[in-house]
Amino acid sequence: MSNYADSSGNGNGVLLRAEHLTKLYPDGQVNALIDVSLEIHRGEYLAVMGPSGSGKSTLLNMLGALDRPTSGETYFEGRPMSHIPNWNRLRAQKIGFVFQSFYLLPVLSAMENVQVPMFESPLPASARARRAVELLEEVGLGHRIHHSPEKLSVGERQRVAIARALANDPVILLADEPTGNLDSKSALGVFDLFASLHRQQGMTIVLITHDDELGRRAERIVRMQDGQIRSDTPSPGPRVAAGTPPCESPVEAPAGLHIRPGVSSHRPKSILPPFAVPDRG
């Protein structure tokens, strides 16, 4: 029985709902998740934090239909995931993933990498290419569209991976330590990008990070320990240290500015905040 007011998961803008998830990895008999329940609303920007081994990636894998729980249920837009027959399609059409190791294809250019998830798209090739360029412009890489990953800085690679994650207009972006391989300046650039996606386009974002300061830039922080959620609180907001660029002031998304499938002209040309200069690696 659900304890939630909106037990259908349909109303109140609930996008994802995990209910009493457990995950037992038979390999080593690890209880990676123990009775984890969580609701994620549309448009929320949530950071998941906690020590190594606390179950953060395991939880993200359940939310992103990458793995099945041992027990419990996850609801995506109100539908129990265990009733959704084609998880590949769900992932391809609804979920954008960003990982610590960018997983770009080395033989493809930035523009081609961004088009990889569009392979099932009804768009003609020219429209896919145009869309890839637009997405790269949005992440500040309009000048690097023909570069292969090896010719990009690590921060730029991650921004290509983010553009790729946005290729099919996902309803949610799931990011597992996306800045784990980045220096602090590139990491800030990626976080500013997430903040802009959230504020300007209303993107729902779940972000795993070990970086306390960067986690505070989300609006809600879930802390995990030993496979359980220990706290779930609004973010206190970033500490502004001397020399740190100020966090963007909250801006309302302009009326009518929403992500719409295949209507990329509704996106602003660039979602980069003015202080987020492209990094040089």
Q: Which residues are near ligand ATP by CB under 6 A?
A: 25, 27-28, 30, 32, 50, 52-58
How far CA 231 is from CA of 16, 73, 130, 156, in Å, comes to: 18, 21, 43, 33
- Please, which residue, 55 or 278, has the CB nearer to Mg ion? 55
- Please, which residue, 155 or 178, has the CB nearer to Mg ion? 178
Least Cβ distance, residue 67 to ligand ATP (angstroms): 8
Give the number of residues written for the chain.
281
Least Cβ distance, residue 50 to Mg ion (angstroms): 9
Least Cβ distance, residue 100 to Mg ion (angstroms): 8
Q: Which residues are CB-contacts of 226 (< 8 A; sequence separation ≥ 6)?
A: 34, 54, 55
Q: Candidates 38-46, 55-63, 101-109, 250-258: pick the segment binding Mg ion (CB under 5 A).
A: 55-63
Q: Which residues pair with 14 in a beta bridge?
A: 41
How many positions of this chain bind Mg ion (CB under 5 A)?
1
Question: What gap in Å lies between CA 57 and CA 210, rounded to an integer?
Answer: 12
Q: Does residue 74 touch Mg ion according to CB under 5 A?
A: no
Least Cβ distance, residue 22 to ligand ATP (angstroms): 12
**What contacts 24+ positions apart, CB below 8 Å, involve 252-255?**
253/199, 253/200, 253/201, 253/202
Out of ligand ATP, Mg ion, none, what residue 253 binds, judged by CB under 5 to 8 A for its kind, is: none
Terminal CA-CA length for the chain: 51
Out of ligand ATP, Mg ion, none, what residue 53 binds, judged by CB under 5 to 8 A for its kind, is: ligand ATP
- Please, which residue, 27 or 150, has the CB nearer to ligand ATP? 27
Burial of 242-255, coded b for 16+ CB within 10 Å and e otherwise, reads eeeeebbeeeeeee
Out of ligand ATP, Mg ion, none, what residue 27 binds, judged by CB under 5 to 8 A for its kind, is: ligand ATP
Q: Which residues pair with 73 in a beta bridge?
A: 19
Least Cβ distance, residue 177 to Mg ion (angstroms): 6
Q: Does residue 57 touch Mg ion according to CB under 5 A?
A: yes
Looking at 166-249, list the stretches that DSSP marks H as alpha helix, in order from N- to C-terminal side: 184-201, 212-215
Taking a C-beta distance cutoff of 8 angstroms, is the pair 78, 12 a contact?
no
Q: Does residue 58 touch Mg ion according to CB under 5 A?
A: no
- Please, which residue, 57 or 179, has the CB nearer to Mg ion? 57
Least Cβ distance, residue 178 to ligand ATP (angstroms): 12
Least Cβ distance, residue 56 to Mg ion (angstroms): 5
Report the amino acid identity of residue 191.
F
Out of Mg ion, ligand ATP, none, what residue 201 binds, judged by CB under 5 to 8 A for its kind, is: none
Question: What gap in Å lies between CA 21 and CA 62, rounded to an integer?
Answer: 9
Instruction: By CB under 5 A, name the binding residues for Mg ion.
Output: 57
